[in-house]
């Protein structure tokens, strides 16, 4: 399976496990899972056939481990816009987390902090390198530090996805460092 095909299948699966399952007649369970056989059938029926072996390859090699397989089921590990409850337990974050964004968002972020925008949570990275890559999707990246220790002490809840993305409901501006 070449890299282009892998990325194409990964994007297709992401789209339908995170954002638009109904587009191909899929229904996620409340925790976001679908039967792998149902996903394969639905994709084939909508003229995007891929094999179980190709899906396994995507799951195993995905750069960000976006998908989790549990027995006969698969789900996206994070990043949904459809309503799902991943039932991730609370976790204690490292003292600092990082968020990659772009300069044009800074005025608004200074005023209102980080908000989930289209997603369910604000996504935070455990290291600057990852945050830089996240910001670079939108332009020249700007990395903000998040005082996660102080946030937690103030009662904010953190969760961590199966692929190591830290999630918070919001980050008020007083916990952000802009440099």
Give the binding site for ligand HQG (CB under 6 A).
64, 66, 79, 101, 105, 108-109, 112, 114-115, 117-119, 123, 134, 138, 165
**Residue with Cβ nearer ligand HQG (34 or 134):** 134
**Residue with Cβ nearer ligand HQG (5 or 49):** 5
CB 117 to ligand HQG: min, Å: 4
CB 177 to ligand HQG: min, Å: 14
CB 79 to ligand HQG: min, Å: 4
**Residue with Cβ nearer ligand HQG (85 or 112):** 112
CB 134 to ligand HQG: min, Å: 4
Adjacency order of strands within the sheet including 34-35? 34-35, 73-76, 67-70
In 3-state terms, what secondary structure has residue 19? Answer: helix
Reported as type and span, the H/E element at residue 37 is helix 36-45
**Residue with Cβ nearer ligand HQG (15 or 57):** 15
């Amino acid at each position: 399976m070449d890299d282009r095909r892998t990325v194409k299948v990964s994007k297709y699966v992401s789209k339908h496990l995170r954002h638009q399952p109904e587009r191909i007649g899929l229904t996620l369970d409340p925790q976001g899972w679908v039967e792998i056989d149902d996903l394969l059938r639905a994709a084939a029926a909508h003229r995007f056939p891929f094999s179980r072996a190709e899906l396994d390859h995507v799951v195993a090699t995905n750069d960000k481990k976006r998908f989790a397989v549990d027995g006969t089921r698969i789900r996206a590990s994070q990043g949904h816009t459809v309503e799902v409850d991943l039932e991730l337990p609370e976790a204690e974050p490292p003292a600092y987390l990082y968020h990659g964004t772009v300069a044009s968002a800074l005025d608004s972020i200074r005023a209102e902090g980080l908000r989930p925008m289209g997603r369910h949570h604000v996504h935070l990275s455990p290291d600057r390198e990852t945050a830089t890559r996240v910001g670079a999707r939108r332009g020249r990246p700007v990395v903000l530090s998040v005082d996660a220790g102080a946030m937690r002490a103030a009662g904010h809840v953190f969760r961590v996805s199966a692929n190591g993305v830290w999630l918070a409901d919001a980050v008020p501006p007083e916990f952000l460092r802009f440099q």
